[in-house]
Structure 1
Amino acid sequence: MRIVVISDTHGNSFALENVIMRNTDADWIIHLGDGEHELDNFILSHQKLAPKIIHVAGNCDFDSLSEDFFILPAMEHKIFATHGHLYGVGGSLERLKSLALTNGCDIILFGHTHVRYQSYENGLYILNPGSASIPRDGLKPSFGHIDITPEGDVITNIVNV
């Protein structure tokens, strides 16, 4: 199973389309917020991909009706996905870790900081794909992949847009 994770496109329709169209074979495409407008427009023009796209609202997705997090079963794993602004990700990931564990999740996805991050800590796979349009870490714009093997192994990766 392959899951593509994108975040913080902030109006950059080109970056969003570039990532998704390069990864149409993914099982899921998750957008972690701050890009709902261009994501909605993309979905309207690419209806066949719509069923595999999931997203949450970010702090810049004004008037959004989307949830601030979701939980997604992925084979024998469970994903906790959020933008992160409501959970203090700029200072600490402890609240996210606690919420994930409380909900039986072992994969955490978040955005908001525009800084790439991937880690495996105490049984939790944690991934922030960075920003696909406005990185704040001095690196190129990026997105993430999660691959779950048939044996249940989880591999996270961050890729330049």
Structure 2
Amino acid sequence: MKIIVMSDSHNNYFSIEKVVKNFHGDLYIHLGDGERELNQICTKYPDKQFIHVTGNCDFASLSQDEILFCPDDKNCIFAVHGHKYGVKSSIEPLKKIARKKGANILLYGHTHARFNEYDDGLYTMNPGSISCPRDGNPPSFGIIDITPKGIVTRIIDL
């Protein structure tokens, strides 16, 4: 299974479309601050599967703040935007919550800075911002490949 992970598009429809159009995924996850343009993408690409959480700039959203789901019988993903978990200060509390929920993959956004690590059984990824990064890197998104042999996570420059 290939999962494409995006975050913080902030009204940049074209950045999301570029990823959806050029990178095949079995599932696309948006980690918030881009619900309006993601809704347009969902309408344009009804054959694609999208999951998203609400971000602090997704005003009047009815979407969930967090999602916990298992894409297969071995792995569980915990996805949040991150603003309610203090991720700009530290991700350690969020990692503890993810582990407590039984997740082995943690996805978050909000900081506009990419992060990708494996630590003691937990894959943690912030794909950075797909439109306005704050870490000196180009806009980016993440890819998670889940295979019978294991998990590979990577961040791709847009």
Category of TM-score, reference length = shorter chain: over 0.9
Q: Name stretches of at least 5 consecutive residues in structure 2 with no aligned partner.
A: none
CA offset at residue 45 of structure 1? 2.1
Indicate the residue corresponding to 2:93 in structure 1: 95
CA distance in 1, matches of 2:115, 2:102: 22
When normalised by structure 1's length, the TM-score is 0.95
Q: Which residue does 1:158 correspond to in 2?
A: 155
What aligned pairs does 1:108-119 form with structure 2 within 5 A after superposition?
Answer: 108-119=106-117
Partner letter of residue 104 of structure 2?
Answer: D
Alignment partner of 1:77: what SS?
coil
Q: What secondary structure is seen at the aligned counterpart in 2 of 1:99? A: helix
The aligned residue for residue 26 of structure 2 is 27
SS of aligned partner of 1:47 = coil
Q: How does 1:30-41 map to 2 (within 5 A)?
A: 30-41=29-40
Give the TM-score, by structure 2 length.
0.96
Distance 1:99 1:67 in 2: 17
Shift of 1:57: 0.1
Query: 1:63 is matched with which residue: 43, 53, 60?
Result: 60
**Runs of 4 or more above 6 Å deviation:** none
Secondary structure at the aligned position of 1:9 is classed as coil
Deviation at 1:77, TM superposition (A): 0.7
Counterpart residue type for residue 68 of structure 1: D
Secondary structure of 1:48's counterpart equals: coil
The offset of 1:74, in angstroms, is 2.3
Taking the aligned partners of 2:113 and 2:131, their CA distance within structure 1 comes to 11
Secondary structure of residue in 2 paired with 1:70 = strand
Q: Distance in 1 between matches of 2:33 and 2:22?
A: 21
CA distance in 1, matches of 2:4, 2:141: 7
Who is 1:43 aligned against? 42
Task: From 116, 124, 127, give the equivalent of 1:126.
Answer: 124
Q: What does residue 18 of structure 1 align with?
A: 18
Which runs of 5 or more residues in structure 1 are unaligned? none
Fraction of identical pairs, as percent:
50
Aligned letter for 1:19?
V
User: How far does residue 32 in structure 1 lie from its aligned partner after superposition?
Assistant: 0.2
